């Protein structure tokens, strides 16, 4: 890896080559990577273990790429919906965090196995499928932040608990700090007057939530692999436990307080259309 970071294969509008936004983003990303010092990463791993660890971090990079695009769409929608400047500004900071995470995960993957470069290309943003702007914001906040980032923070904490590599532990701590803030942003928005859900909006969330819970459960159960846990990964036997605990003890009760029948969505996830 030798401390080199690769540029995005596809530039977003805010990260044009040589522009001020790219310089700000690149500076922040490289500063964090330098502070983390990846030179001793994976010490003691054999080549096969390093490749397995690289796969974990490449997969995490791809997740972060998708988050960049989804967060960007959410911030644009919040702006279109007339959200206050502080909300839009906080959302923009979340996008920057996720873009930085892409760079960090790519750097970790390449440091673990520098045999081939890692290119952090942004994917195309698929259409949301919901045309009503307010409903699109509501569904995005709940699915992306309240569910996705809350669960992501818990998984990163579990991965850090199981990690014995001090360098990767530091990287996980860096990512966890941001993800926990992102989750809090979603819950905070629901508590504000602009985020208060109408009965109709709360009802519209339930079927989406049931499908999301169904897909998460399938993914978590299907991704279980045998063998040792690569540095930075969540142990296979802990993944489903984290999902069930965080959903039932955190996500469902908090959404219920906002009028969403989240418990029903969880109970009906396996028959969701």
Q: Could you read off the pLDDT of 73-115 as tens digits, one per residue? A: 999 999 999 988 888 999 999 998 998 899 899 999 999 998 8
At 224, the pLDDT band (50, 70, 90 cuts) reads low
What gap in Å lies between CA 70 and CA 45, rounded to an integer? 35
Q: If you write DSSP's letter for every residue of 122-178 in order, what string do you get?
A: PPPPPP-S---HHHHHHHHIIIIIIIIIHHHHHHHHHHHHH---HHHHHHHHHHHHH
In tens, the pLDDT along 56-72 reads 999 999 999 889 989 99
pLDDT digits (tens, 9 = 90+) for 108-166: 999 999 888 887 766 565 666 667 899 999 999 999 999 999 999 999 999 999 999 99
What domains appear along the chain, each with residue ranges and CATH number?
20-271 (1.20.1260)
pLDDT digits (tens, 9 = 90+) for 4-52: 232 222 223 323 333 434 444 445 445 555 577 888 898 889 999 999 9
Selection from 166, 178, 64 nearest residue 123 by Cα: 64
């Amino acid at each position: 890896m030798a401390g080199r970071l690769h540029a995005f294969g596809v530039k977003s509008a805010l990260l044009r080559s040589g522009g001020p936004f790219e310089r700000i983003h690149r500076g922040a990303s490289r500063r964090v990577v330098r502070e983390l010092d990846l030179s001793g990463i994976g010490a003691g791993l054999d080549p096969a273990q390093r490749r397995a660890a690289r796969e974990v971090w490449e997969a995490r990079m791809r997740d972060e790429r998708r988050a960049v695009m989804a967060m960007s769409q959410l911030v644009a929608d919040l702006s279109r919906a007339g959200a206050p400047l502080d909300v839009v500004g906080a959302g923009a900071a979340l996008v920057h965090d996720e873009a930085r995470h892409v760079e960090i995960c790519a750097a970790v993957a390449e440091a673990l196995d520098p045999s081939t470069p890692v290119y952090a290309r942004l994917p195309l943003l698929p259409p949301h499928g919901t045309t009503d702007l307010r409903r699109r914001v509501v569904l995005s906040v709940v699915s992306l932040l309240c569910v996705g980032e809350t669960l992501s923070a818990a998984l990163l904490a579990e991965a850090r608990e199981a990690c014995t590599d001090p360098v990767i532990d530091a990287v996980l701590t860096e990512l966890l700090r941001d993800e926990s803030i992102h989750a809090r942003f979603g819950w905070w928005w629901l508590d504000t007057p602009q985020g208060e859900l109408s009965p109709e909006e709360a009802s519209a969330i339930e079927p989406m939530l049931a499908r999301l819970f169904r897909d998460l459960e399938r993914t978590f159960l299907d991704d279980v692999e045998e063998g040792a846990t690569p540095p930075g990964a969540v142990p296979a036997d802990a993944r489903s436990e984290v999902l069930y605990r965080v959903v039932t003890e955190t996500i469902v009760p908090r959404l219920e307080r906002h009028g969403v029948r989240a418990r029903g969505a969880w109970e009906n996830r396996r028959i969701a259309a």
